[in-house]
A and B are shown apart, each in its own frame.
Chain A
Amino acid sequence: MSTVNEIRGSELVLEEVTKIFGTVAAVDQVSLRVAPSEFLTLLGPSGSGKTTLLRMIGGFLSPNSGRILIDGDDVVDMPVERRPTAMLFQQLSLWPHLTVARNVSFGLELRRRPKEEIAQKVRDLLGVVGLSGFEDRLPSQLSGGQQQRVALARALALEPRILLLDEPFSALDTKLRIELRTFVRKLQREVGTTTILVTHDQEEALELSDRIVVLRDGRVEQIGEPTEIYDLPKTGFVAEFLGSMSFLTGSLTARGVRLENGVEVEVQEPFDHVAGTPQIGVRPEDVLVSANEGSGAFVIDRITRKGYFNEIWLSCGGATVGAYVGREVPGSIHSRVDVRMRKIHLFTESGDAIDLDNGNASVAVGGGPGEQSESERAEVQETRR
C-alpha cells in the first residue's frame, strides 16, 4: 500500500515556453530546469506571468510555443487530468458539498483504487496534515488554514511528482500563513516531491525556496539561490522587488558617493569604480545613521515603526534614502543626521547591475575607503563571484 512517503520528485525542464494572450506575451521564451525534489519559487509582481507559467506546467493552459518536459517526456499535449502534477490553489478550493474525507479521496476514487486503500490513505494524509478526526466535517466547518491543509492532503493524495502551489497562503491571515508555509516546507522536505511555488511575497520566497526565479513582464529577470539574488541582484528591478533598495544619482569618489548637491557619503565596503554617473543602490540595512548633534547633511522625513525596529526615510537635496534602525531612532522628524553606507550596488541607466567581470562598464579609479590595489580589487571580485 502506498503512502505519501513514496512520492518521488521529478525533473522539470521548460524550453523557451511562450504564452500569448491577444497581442501580449504573458510568458516570453522562458527556459529553466528544476531539479528533482527542488523547491523553486516563481517570484514577480502582478502581471509578470508567474501564474500563467504555473498553469501551463499544470496543463490548465497550453503554451503557444516551447516544450515542457517532465522527466524527459514532453507533456505539452497531455491533458490536466493525466499530468503527474497537483496544484494547490490561491482561493480555498475545497468542494463544499463533500466532506473532508471525500475531498481527499475524490482523485483516488477516480483512479478506481480499492476502498480499503483509499480509506487508509485518507487517514494517513489527514494525519500528515494534522487533521485526524476531521474526516466527516464539511469545508464550511473548517478554518481557512485547515481548509488549505485539506487541500494539501487532497493534492498529495494524487502522489504528484510535481506539486504546484499557486499563492496558497495569500488568503490566510499572517499568523496562519507563517504556520502553514513552515509546515509545507517541512512536509516537502519529508516527502521529496518537486515543488514550484508562485508568490509575490518576497519573505515567503526567501524563507521557503532552494532557488528563486524572478519574473518581469513574462521574462526571467534572474534565477538563483535566495541569498545570491538578494546580495547580487542583476537588475535594479530585482533589487527593489526582493528586499528594498533606495536609488541615488551621483558620482563615485575614492571614499564613497558624491550626491548631486555635492554632499559626500562614505561607503565602508570596497566597491567597483566606474566612470560617469551610475545608478547607486543601497539597501536600508546598509544605511548607517548617526545623530551628530543635529548637524548632519540628511533630514529625517518619516519614521515608520515596525515593532522591533524602525524604518526611517531621509532626504538630502533631491535624494531620498530608506534606513533601518533599532528601537532607538537617532533623532525625530526634521532632525539632521549623518549617513554612512556599509555597501552599495551599482546599476547602469537601463537598470542592469554593473558587472565589471563582463565588462559592461568602464573601470575608473580604485575604491572603498582609500585606494584599492590590484590584488585587493581581484579579491573583491573573487568574493562577488
Chain B
Amino acid sequence: MSKQSDDGRAVTEGGSLASDQPVAKRPSRRVRRRMRTEGKRGGLASTLAFLPLIFLAVFGGIPIVLSLLLMLGHFGGPNSAVAQLGQGEIPGRGIGTLGAITQMFESHSYQQNVIATVIVFVITGIAVLIIAATLTLWQRLRPSRAMATLQFLAVVPLFIPVVIASFTLWTFWGDRGFTDSSAALLGWSHALIFSGKLQGVILAEVWVSLPFAVLLMRAGVSTLGDSSLDAARDAGAGLFTVALRIALPQLRKECLIVFCFTAVGVLGSFTVPYIIGPSNPLMLGVDAVDTFSNYNQPQQAAVIGFTIFALAGLIGAIYAIGSRSRHVNH
C-alpha cells in the first residue's frame, strides 16, 4: 500500500518515491460543491453580461445594418415595405450604389445643412464649455453670492421640458417678443430677433445644455486641491493665470466630456432646431425627419442618418483620443 510524502507524491512501503509525478488528489466533496456553485455563478454572470450586448444588437445593430443596406439601394427583405412606399429611390446591385449619397452631397441645400449643423454644434460646445468653466472656476477661486446664484440659475433649465423651453424662447426673442420690444424702445427695431435664425438655435442649445455642463464642471472643480490652487497664488499667479495654467489643465478630461457630450447632444437634437431654427438651412435632425416624413424619401433620410452618425463618430474619436493621451507640459 502506498502512502503520500509531504509534497503529495506517492511513497512505497520501503519509503522510496513510487514515481516522480505528483499524485492528483480528488477534491473533497465540500470543495467540489463550492466549485459547482462558482461555475453556476460564472455562467449567470456571463449571461447577464451578454444581455446588454444582445439588446444592443437587436435594437441598435440590426436597424443600423438595415439602414445601411437601404442607403446602398438594397430594397429587399425587411427593407421592402419602406422601399415600396418611398420615392426617388436609387436601386443598387452587387454590394450596392453610392448614388443616394452622391445625390445628397451634390445638393447645395444639403451641403448648407451639414455646414450649419457643424457650426451650431461646434459653437454651442465651445460656448457651453466656456460658460460652465467660468461659472464654476470663478466661484472656486473667488467665491461670491452672486456667482453662487448664477451657478444655481444655470442648473434650472434641467427641470424645464425642452419643448416648453423652446416655445418660450421662441416667443421671448421672436418678432415682437421681449428682446425685440426692449430693443425697439431703444430705437433698434428688429435688432434682437433670434427666432428663425441659427443664432437662436445656438442660444437655445446653450440654454438647454448648460445645466449638465455646469454640474459636471462643478464636480471636476471640486476635486482640485486647495493647496494646488493656493500654491499657484503663492508663486505669484493672479486669478486668470491660476485658472488658465493650473486649474484648467487639471480639468482637461472634464472639459473634453463637456464639449463632446454637448456637441453630440446638439447634433442629435430635434425639438430646439425644429421650433426655433430657420427653414433653411436646416439642422440635420430636422432635415432627416422632413426627408423621411414630408418628402417620403427613406433612402435619402438614411444618408442623413449616416452623416449624423459619422459626425458623432468624429466627436467620439476626439473624446477617445483626448481622454487617453497624457497631457504633459515640459
Contacts and interface: CB of A to CB of B under 8 A. Distances in A.
A97 B325 CA distance: 12
A58 B250 contact: no
Contacts of A138: 328
A305 to B, nearest CB: 37
Contact of B236 (A95, A107, A136, A151): A107
A90 B226 CA distance: 10
Interface stretch (B38-46, B125-133, B227-235, B280-288): B227-235
B329 A97 contact: yes
Nearest to B234: A87
A106 B235 contact: yes
Given A98-B329, A102-B330, A111-B236, A87 B241 contact: no
B234 A80 contact: yes
B227 A89 contact: yes
A97 B228 contact: no
Interface residues of A, number: 31
A151 B230 CA distance: 13
Given A81-B237, A91-B225, A96 B330 contact: no
A172 to B, nearest CB: 15
Interface string A81-122: 110011101111111111101100011001100000000000
B231 to A, nearest CB: 5
Interface string B116-130: 000000000000000
B330 A136 contact: yes
A76 interface: no
A60 B235 CA distance: 12
A93 B225 contact: yes
Interface in A133-165: 136, 138, 151, 154-155, 158
A87 B235 CA distance: 9
A370 to B, nearest CB: 59
Question: Which of A87, A95, A136 gathers the greatest number of chain B CB atoms within 10 Å?
Answer: A95
Nearest to B330: A99
B194 to A, nearest CB: 39
Task: Please classify the interface of chain B as helix (H, G, I), strand (E, B), loop, or mixed, using the class held by over half of its residues.
Answer: helix
Given A95-B246, A97-B249, A89 B231 contact: yes
Interface string A174-194: 000000000000000000000
A328 B231 CA distance: 50
A158 B233 CA distance: 12
A99 B330 CA distance: 6
Nearest to A85: B234
Contacts of A101: 330
B234 A58 contact: yes
B327 interface: yes
A89 B226 CA distance: 10
Contacts of B235: 81, 86, 106-107, 110, 154, 158
A158 B246 CA distance: 18
B243 to A, nearest CB: 13
Contact of B250 (A97, A106, A151, A154): A97
B207 to A, nearest CB: 32
B52 interface: no
A81 B225 contact: no
15 contacts: A58-B234, A60-B230, A80-B234, A81-B237, A86-B235, A89-B230, A95-B232, A99-B328, A101-B330, A102-B329, A110-B237, A111-B236, A136-B330, A154-B235, A158-B236
Interface of B: 225-228, 230-238, 241, 245-246, 249-250, 252, 327-330
Interface of A: 58, 60, 80-82, 85-87, 89-99, 101-102, 106-107, 110-111, 136, 138, 151, 154-155, 158
In the A-B complex, the 4 residue pairs with the smallest Cβ-Cβ separation, listed nearest first, are A107-B235, A93-B227, A89-B227, A97-B249
